[in-house]
Copies of this chain bind each other. A is one copy, B any other.
Amino acid sequence: MEVVDNYLNEAFNEAFYTVRNNVGGPFGAIVVMNGKVIGKGGNQVSSQNDPTAHAEIVAIREACRKIGNFDLTGAILYATCEPCPMCLSAIYWANIQSVYYCSTRHDAASIGFKDYHIYEELNLLPEQRKISFRQIDNPLALELFKEWTEKTDKTLY
């Protein structure tokens, strides 16, 4: 497990830098492919005014820029904390192979972050959530998906 610990320590370096330089919250992440770090970063929410700039998203976006592809099949992600549902889903969309993390969603909740709260909300029916989600019928919905299905030069992801 020495390799895993070393990469996790690199993720912690990102997180400590982030906290000490007021870049964002106390989180860091590293993306590794074929034994090479291809993306890394800390949380940048407050400095970038971007609520989606979590460490894992920052590292995934950098990795994709580096290899020029939205598909990170075979990559491993190391994160200082359990990914929130946003980052977990980004990991699925990027086809990352496996994830190692240290703190949990409960640890994050204990210092004031709402990762655990969002995990709970996701399991509720849209109309039961704290944020109102309403489905509205629109004839364009079917038309749009039909156009996509029939499109012959599309890029799937």
Assembly CA distance A83 to B86 (angstroms): 11
Closest chain-B Cβ to A33's Cβ sits at a distance in Å of: 14
Produce 1/0 per residue, A49-65, CB < 8 A to B: 11110000100110011
In the complex, residue of chain B having the shortest beta-carbon distance to the beta carbon of A25: B157
Number of chain copies forming the complex:
2
Residues 12-50 (chain A) with a chain B CB within 8 angstroms: 12, 15-16, 19, 22, 24-26, 45-46, 48-50
Q: Residues on A close to B: CB < 8 A? A: 1, 4-5, 8-9, 12, 15-16, 19, 22, 24-26, 45-46, 48-52, 57, 60-61, 64-65, 68-72, 80-94, 96-104, 107, 110-112, 114, 117-119, 121-123, 126, 131-138, 140-141, 144-145, 147-149, 151, 153-157
